[in-house]
A = this chain, B = another copy of it.
Amino acid sequence: MSFEQLWRDLLPVGRSAATGGYFRQPFLAAEREAAAWFAEAASAQGLVLETDAFGNVVAWWDPVPVVPDARGALAAEGERPASGREGAVLTGSHLDSVLDGGAFDGPLGVVSALAAVDVLRDRGVTPRVPLGIGVFMEEEGSRFGLACLGSRLATGLLPWETARELRDRDGTALGDVVAGGASTLLDGVTCFVELHAEQGRDLVHRGAAVGLASAIWPHGRYRFDFCGHADHAGTTRMADRRDPMLTYAATALAAAEAARSGDGMGPGRVRRATFGRLEVRPNGTNAIPSQVSAWLDARASSEVELEALLGEVSAAASARAARDGTTVRLTAESASGEVLFDAALTRRLAEALSGVPVIPTGAGHDAGILQQAGIPAAMLFVRNETGVSHSPAEHLTIPDALVGVTALADVLESLIT
């Protein structure tokens, strides 16, 4: 099927009529509907579906048919089933979304991969090695709180013993939702190429429809627990309060200032700090809060820069807590160092797509996880008109998306033939 047909079918899944945004949380209705759409679309193309115990899926285009008897016989002898495909090339992305996210973040890579297989067949390409289209579970971390959860589990970077206890906001554990265990989905995979909508306007400024990724900046998620003293909003004198909301507010402003002072100041120097998630207790209009928990998302162009940024925010929080009579506790929920995509693979892609720009990104991706796990990875970005991401305002044109499909087909052809 063509990109446009595939896109039309997937577009309504999980879209809010009110905002035009998407909410596809792992293992809940909308995301399961998207997963079913993928299984159907891949099967219609004659691809073979393989799933693992974490909810990750790969649709395989195998060079020769797999002989079930031979695989069954191996399994019967107690050896590892030959689920791995030696020399395999993997592409794909994810289908989950943040709350009120855009249409393209994730699905663009999956739909483009399906369309690229069609293009390759039209070109008469016969793969020398297996080509897989992967859909990784919970890339956004919108349900269990950890981004790239599926790829972290599939690569073994995150042990199942840790992950099974991750809980969503309703208290449901990941271990209650998936069987868990181990994954052989990536066995034999020699490289991963992820196509993704750009999250920024770099390609707009450069006047290019597609680009390649050089690196992912280091980033981390940090929970700040500001604790004070619950009290009556009307009767407690201002001077007697220990209000953690004020400590939080001062910290949020300090974080923005600390990031702003460095972001874009000097060549390639980047600092980003965001408090986008809050929990207030008891969260009542007439009650001074006892606790405010706030999550800081921080990224920077180097690890030194990230540490400096976090240090400045943390110092501001402590100083204000001393003034407010509150306390602050800092927990690093996740921290990722800089990821440099595979230089040889990226060079090969650049040769297949002469003249495309190579740019860094502040967003985490499954490709970064695979790269960290030792699977050479590269990324293709497609221009996003608004540069906006994690919002219904994210916008790509169909012509740009089609340039992306062609580019992906070109690089995959160079890798599988």
Contact = CB atoms under 8 A, between A and B. Distances in A.
A175 interface: no
A31 to B, nearest CB: 15
Contacts of A283: 99, 276-278
A256 B243 contact: yes
B221 A393 contact: no
Nearest to A142: B284
A165 B240 CA distance: 38
Contacts of A281: 99-100
A396 to B, nearest CB: 14
B280 A243 contact: no
Interface in A4-44: none
Interface in A202-254: 217, 219, 221, 229-240, 243, 245-246, 248-250, 252-253
Given A99-B284, A238-B272, A252 B245 contact: yes
A252 B276 CA distance: 16
Contact of A230 (B100, B145, B252, B282): B100
Contacts of A249: 248-250, 252-253
Contacts of A230: 100, 388, 390-393
B388 A199 contact: no
A325 interface: no
B286 A199 contact: no
A143 to B, nearest CB: 11
A299 B142 CA distance: 39
A265 to B, nearest CB: 10
A221 B285 contact: yes
A290 interface: yes
A297 B234 CA distance: 8
Contact of A235 (B200, B229, B236, B237): B200
B219 A238 contact: no
A276 B390 contact: no
Contacts of A290: 100, 391
A238 B260 contact: yes
A361 interface: yes
A232 B100 CA distance: 12
A199 B362 contact: no
A271 B282 CA distance: 23
B276 A286 contact: yes
26 contacts: A99-B287, A100-B290, A145-B285, A200-B236, A217-B234, A219-B234, A221-B285, A230-B390, A231-B388, A231-B393, A232-B362, A232-B388, A233-B276, A233-B297, A234-B299, A236-B387, A238-B256, A245-B275, A248-B249, A249-B252, A253-B253, A276-B280, A277-B280, A277-B285, A278-B283, A288-B390
Interface of A: 98-100, 140-142, 145, 147, 198-200, 217, 219, 221, 229-240, 243, 245-246, 248-250, 252-253, 256, 259-260, 263-264, 271-278, 280-290, 295, 297, 299, 361-364, 387-393
